[in-house]
């Protein structure tokens, strides 16, 4: 009987020890989980505090729309990007520096192509060559409809934005658009449309990829610049805009 009581006492103690170990293990795991959750929340809060240009929260690739155009702008495939940029440069040199005209170029290309194909089709029996295989071109309707739909949406968005600005609801947006159009008009007086288009094309192929590479260094400078711009705008608002009766009336309505 004494031995049985001792054995039961031992088993009870071992059971209690196992239960205590499980409780401590659960506490430690829960505490580690809570620590990891706290670390994640702290990391996410720090990440949220990082300033990004234009307030973006997505990568540059997604901001540019993703897909093949974004791959070309960000040089994901260097051969394709270099080929596109080189073609645009050749077109600009041909039309702007050499002063070649688009209609003349198209006619010369068609003349040369038709002459080569016509001669080849007639003399292939004399030179023991097979006749040229002229492919049949059939444009599908879907790509044109997609481009037209996307263009229609963008035009509608532009007109809606211009209507909102013209209604006088947002003075800040009005001033930004006026200043942007003024800058574009000045740049347009310096060069023609083709040169301006080529400059924009080159900027799209250089600035995004450089920004993606050095965004951690660019964003702090952009944050300081935005703070300074906001300060200057506040001074301009206090000294000039607040004295305009119409602007003051709109501010009173918002309040």
Average predicted confidence (pLDDT) for the chain: 75
Give 95-111 as a 3 state SS string: HHHCCCCHHHHHHHHHH
3-state secondary structure of 136: coil
- Of all residues in the chain, the percent with pLDDT exceeding 70 is 70
Tell which residue, 92, 90, 69, 72, has the closest CA to residue 81.
Answer: 72
Tell which residue, 189, 193, 164, has the closest CA to residue 177.
Answer: 164
pLDDT recorded at residue 172: 79
**Does residue 35 have a pLDDT over 60?**
no
Scan for tokens 């003399």, then name that residue: 123
Q: What is the mean pLDDT of residues 124-131?
A: 71
Of the listed ranges 16-30, 32-46, 111-125, 203-217, the least confidently predicted one is 32-46
Element (H, E) at 175: helix 171-190
Tell which residue, 216, 192, 218, has the closest CA to residue 207.
Answer: 218
For the ranges 11-20, 47-56, 208-217, 237-246, the maximum mean pLDDT occurs at 208-217
**Rounded CA separation 75/114 (Å):** 36
The answer to whether the beta carbons of residues 101 and 95 sit under 8 Å apart is yes
pLDDT tens per residue across span 199-226: 889 998 888 888 888 888 888 888 888 8
**Does residue 111 have a pLDDT over 90?**
yes
**Rounded CA separation 224/157 (Å):** 31
Within 10 angstroms of residue 209's Cβ, the number of other Cβ atoms is 16
Whether pTM > 0.85 for this model: the answer is no
The answer to whether the beta carbons of residues 212 and 74 sit under 8 Å apart is yes
Scan for tokens 């293990």, then name that residue: 25
pLDDT recorded at residue 252: 52
Tokens of 111: 């003349």
Instruction: Give the residue with greater pLDDT, 185 vs 249.
Output: 185
- First-to-last CA distance in the chain? 89
Q: What is the mean pLDDT of residues 180-187?
A: 86
pLDDT recorded at residue 63: 73
């Amino acid at each position: 009987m004494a031995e049985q009581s001792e054995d039961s006492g031992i088993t009870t103690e071992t059971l209690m020890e196992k239960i205590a170990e499980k409780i401590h293990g659960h506490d430690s795991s829960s505490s580690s989980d809570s620590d990891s959750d706290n670390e994640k929340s702290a990391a996410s809060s720090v990440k949220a505090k990082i300033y990004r240009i234009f307030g973006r929260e997505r990568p540059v690739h997604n901001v540019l729309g993703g897909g093949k155009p974004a791959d070309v702008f960000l040089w994901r495939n260097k051969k394709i990007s270099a080929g596109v940029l080189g073609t645009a440069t050749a077109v600009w040199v041909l039309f702007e520096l050499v002063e070649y005209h688009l209609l003349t170029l198209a006619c010369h290309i068609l003349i040369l192509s038709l002459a080569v194909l016509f001669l080849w089709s007639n003399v292939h029996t004399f030179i023991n060559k097979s006749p040229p295989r002229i492919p049949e071109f059939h444009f599908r309707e879907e790509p044109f409809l997609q481009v037209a739909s996307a263009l229609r949406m963008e035009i509608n968005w532009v007109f809606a934005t211009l209507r909102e600005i013209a209604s006088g609801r947002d003075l800040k947006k009005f001033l930004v658009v006026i200043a942007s159009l003024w800058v574009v008009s000045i740049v347009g007086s310096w060069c023609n449309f083709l040169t301006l288009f080529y400059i924009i094309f080159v900027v799209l192929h250089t600035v995004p990829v450089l920004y993606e590479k050095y965004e951690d260094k660019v964003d702090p400078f952009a944050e300081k610049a935005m703070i300074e711009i906001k300060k200057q705008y506040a001074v301009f608002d206090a000294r000039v805009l607040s004295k305009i009766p119409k602007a003051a009336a709109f501010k009173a309505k918002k309040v």
